[in-house]
Amino acid sequence: MSSGIFSAVYGSCVTAVGWAAHIAWCRRRLNLARKDPLTGLPTRYDWHSRARRIARDPFPAIVTLVDLDDFKAVNDSFGHAGGDAVLKEAAARLAAWCAPHGIAGRLGGDEFAAVIVAEDADYGSRLQALHDALHQPVPWRGTWLPMRASIGAARLADLQEPSISVALRHADAAMYEAKIHAGWQLARPGEGPPAIHLRPQRASRRGISSSGTLGPHHPDSGKHSTSQADSALQDG
């Protein structure tokens, strides 16, 4: 083989290897963009894309928004490591709740979204189950971190324009109504504000000591310790 031909072949191989490496790098970047590195959940864009496909299922779909309450207080009291532990556990519980016919995603910060489909129209028990799961403390480094969330939901079947984007807007409004009352709320467009589904003993769950600080939760007593509290409780 002449040197000219060898150089051409070698150059082509190098170019092919370079393109393969570039494609692999692009795929890794794309996967990172699609998956939240902390929780492993789909990011906003990827969740929205997958949620649209799930919403085409013939069974009714419900879109849910979740906002972790008092999350700033957790970060202030236990540092970012404690906050990350709460985020990861909330993501795991939400993903488990969605299975097997749904998808959860992290929209950013302490806000999550989910879409599920079911064979029946009784979503109350499903939403209550999610609410209960997101009000259980998180074990962390020999203590318990408090978790609390507000949940808003919207059924696509109740909307004049049954799209994920429209459902998210209704779920967002319902979530902020629920946040005021520490419950969950299902939006019913055109029927006025629905009843808020409250969780009992709301004040005691907030973990507020006499000094207004947030401490680790002890599941056996239903109370919070204030020995490690550093900051005033602020609603997320």
Decide yes or no: CATH 3.30.420.10 for domain 39-224: no
Structural domain boundaries in the chain: 1-34, 39-224
The answer to whether 110 is a known catalytic residue is: yes
Nearest Cα residue to 104 out of 71, 83, 134: 134
What are 149-166's pLDDT values in tens digits? 999 999 998 888 889 999
Name which residue leads in pLDDT, 55 or 2. Answer: 55
CA–CA gap between residue 153 and residue 201 (Å, rounded): 23
Nearest Cα residue to 97 out of 111, 83, 118, 119: 118
What are 104-156's pLDDT values in tens digits? 999 999 999 999 987 666 788 899 999 999 999 999 999 999 999 999 999 99
Q: Provide mean pLDDT across the span 188-202.
A: 51
What are 173-194's pLDDT values in tens digits? 999 999 887 679 989 786 554 4
Query: Which one of 46, 70, 76, 110 is the catalytic residue?
Result: 110
- pLDDT mean across residues, the chain: 76
